[in-house]
Amino acid sequence: MEQRKIYKICGNWIKIRDEFVNKYFLSVEAGRQMTVYISHDNDINKEIHLKIKDRKCSVKCVDLSNLKKTPFEFNIKHKGIKSLLKLLKQFGYQKGTVGEVATLSYYLGQQLVFDVLLNSFLGNIMFVYNNIDERKFLKLFTKLVDEKQLEIMDRDKITKTTKKLSLKTTEIIDNYGILDSHLNKFCLSTGFCSSEDTVSLKEEVDTFDNDYSEYEKLYYEEFGTELLGKTSINKTYLYKPVSIVIPCFNSEATIIQTIASIQSQNVPKNLLRKTEVILVDDGSNIPIENVLKKYGGKIYTQVKIVRLNRNSGPSTARNIGADVAKQKIILFIDSDILLPSNYLMEISIRNIFIPTAVFVTFKQNIEKDNEKISLKNIQKGLAVPNPSLDMRITKKIDQNVPGVYAINREKYIEILSETDCFKQFGYGRKVGIFDLPAMVVSHNVSTRRKNFFRAGGFSNEFIGWGMEDSFFGARMIARRNFIIPILSTGVYHIDHLPRSGSEEEKEKEFKINLAKYKKLMMDTLDED
């Protein structure tokens, strides 16, 4: 996309941002970018500029003595960076400057208006794109320039200014093939792997750092509330419609309550009408379409029903639902899950802001005849549940409890607390019988639709109860998606007998699926 103008932000960035966001209801997406300037050993006018963002690396060959000359540019694959740096070293490009910046992209609907680079070599920089509506935005940009809040810059000036800066230089890659530590960490954490060897899914998971602290800071600066806080966001104009996929198999006892909880969300009705509910009827004895006819409440959302001729399992149903979905954000819930009234708002804002993440919330089990979840009360809007007994928050386990890992003694674990909300759950760490992929539980999980398909969706290898959601979590982690909990909302899970028929059969299914999981984790990860 062509950039129209470049501005240096001279004034208060928060004030400038608020003028745009509050006036035009812009949505924002955070990101991370690594910039590397590598100079030639014998010619200070020759530089190689690398920009790494979104698993893409652009390479620009710059001649500082002739800035009018169009630089030679090309892109490389996300696993080719180490080979490129080795090659550049042979041609005399080995020392340079490494800098990481936070990026904020602001959208009006689907239209990208401008990007902001925070704390770059030149300070805070705004890139405005040439597809913006001149009549809508030009006056405000002009006003901010006149007030000396923004300074118009040209590309030559940026290059010349950068050249004059006294930037710390480092050896980008040494004689042992070791990358600069900052660059190497960034490549690993973003999926821009420094290794070109094909690796197993487990190896990719075990090299992932789930520390999403940088996004946590940006979230607070942008919204004035904590990413992990318990206070709900009340800026309903920030809500972006989602696609909700619900696999249904003989779900007539609970699905009406689930649908009612979706209709009672505290988002504007005009936006709720753009929200999709995709019911994948997985060969139910009583078609879901017939069950829904008994619901007498108002339905605001779009409802799509896909009926399968035979029962194919929840993984197939979820994948089919995702394929039908049209919205940018996709939410998977089960047909016995009830959403409190703030749920969609909380997951929507986070999925829009952090582009590479899987968001999970915790559940509170509740009896089906509890008055709190009567249809009348659901339609009024449910309060946030108390999920303190969710296994990811607190659990007592012993050596007989099946899990991804075995333990040899009774153990009481508090995963959320012990891992600082999963931020210290990377690099293959395990807590009791659990690891990071096990934190993804499919009764309610959300992500961006493109992330879902890039990871390969849910696997159909698992039959019966257990491990299909952990394997999905592993696939998402391998594609460098953070696993982030949301503490400001949660879900109610309506208690029922095991769908496997008994606890014994459920445990049997789990053991078979666990063996499949461990085998699949050793398979080679497919290329993007």
Residue that wins the pLDDT comparison between 168 and 92: 92
Tokens of 276: 């999709």
* For residue 16, pLDDT beyond 50: yes
Residue % of the chain over a pLDDT of 70: 92
- The rounded distance, in Å, linking the Cα atoms of 29 and 468 is 30
- Please state the pTM of the whole predicted model: 0.91
- pLDDT reported for residue 159: 58
- The rounded distance, in Å, linking the Cα atoms of 79 and 55 is 9
- pLDDT reported for residue 305: 97
- pLDDT reported for residue 166: 59
- pLDDT reported for residue 527: 63
Largest alpha-carbon pair distance within the chain? Answer: 79
* For residue 352, pLDDT beyond 90: yes
Neighbouring residues of 389: CB distance < 8 A, sequence distance ≥ 6: 364, 365
φ, ψ dihedrals at 106, nearest 5°: -110, 130
75-85 mean pLDDT: 80
- pLDDT reported for residue 26: 87
Tokens of 201: 């899914």
- pLDDT reported for residue 139: 82
Report how far apart, in Å, the C-alpha atoms of 446 and of each of 226, 331, 481, 527 are. 19, 4, 12, 23
Name the nearest CA neighbour of 276 among 314, 245, 298, 302. 302
- pLDDT reported for residue 176: 87
Residue % of the chain over a pLDDT of 90: 57
231-237 mean pLDDT: 86
- pLDDT reported for residue 2: 55
CA dihedral 245, 248, 253, 256 (to 10 degrees): 30
Give 1's pLDDT tier (boundaries 50, 70, 90). very low
Residue type, 385: P
- What does the pLDDT look like over 470-526, one tens digit per residue? 999 999 999 999 999 999 999 999 987 666 567 788 888 889 999 999 999 998 776
- pLDDT reported for residue 435: 94
Please report which helix (H) or strand (E) contains residue 60, including its range.
strand 56-63
CA dihedral 213, 215, 220, 221 (to 10 degrees): 120
59 forms beta bridges with 50, 74
Name the nearest CA neighbour of 110 among 32, 53, 26. 26
Highest mean pLDDT among 160-164, 229-233, 327-331: 327-331
- The rounded distance, in Å, linking the Cα atoms of 86 and 188 is 18
Name the nearest CA neighbour of 162 among 129, 125, 127. 125
Helices and strands (DSSP H and E) totals, the chain: 17, 24
- pLDDT reported for residue 160: 56
125-143 mean pLDDT: 78
- pLDDT reported for residue 429: 93
* For residue 8, pLDDT beyond 60: yes
215-242 mean pLDDT: 92
Work out whether strand 72-76 and strand 56-63 pair parallel, antiparallel, or are unpaired.
antiparallel
- What does the pLDDT look like over 158-198, one tens digit per residue? 655 555 555 678 999 988 888 999 988 888 777 776 555 66
262-282 mean pLDDT: 96
* For residue 123, pLDDT beyond 50: yes
Q: Are 458 and 319 in contact (CB under 8 A)?
A: yes
Sheet hosting strand 337-338, strand order edge to edge:
337-338, 491-494, 363-366
Task: Name the average pLDDT for the chain.
Answer: 89
- What does the pLDDT look like over 41-77, one tens digit per residue? 998 888 899 988 877 889 999 887 776 777 888 888 7
- What does the pLDDT look like over 417-429, one tens digit per residue? 999 999 999 899 9
Q: Are 482 and 354 in contact (CB under 8 A)?
A: yes
- The rounded distance, in Å, linking the Cα atoms of 39 and 60 is 12
- pLDDT reported for residue 501: 65
375-379 mean pLDDT: 95
- pLDDT reported for residue 375: 94
Tokens of 470: 């952990």
- pLDDT reported for residue 265: 97
330-352 mean pLDDT: 97
* For residue 406, pLDDT beyond 80: no
93-113 mean pLDDT: 90
303-323 mean pLDDT: 95
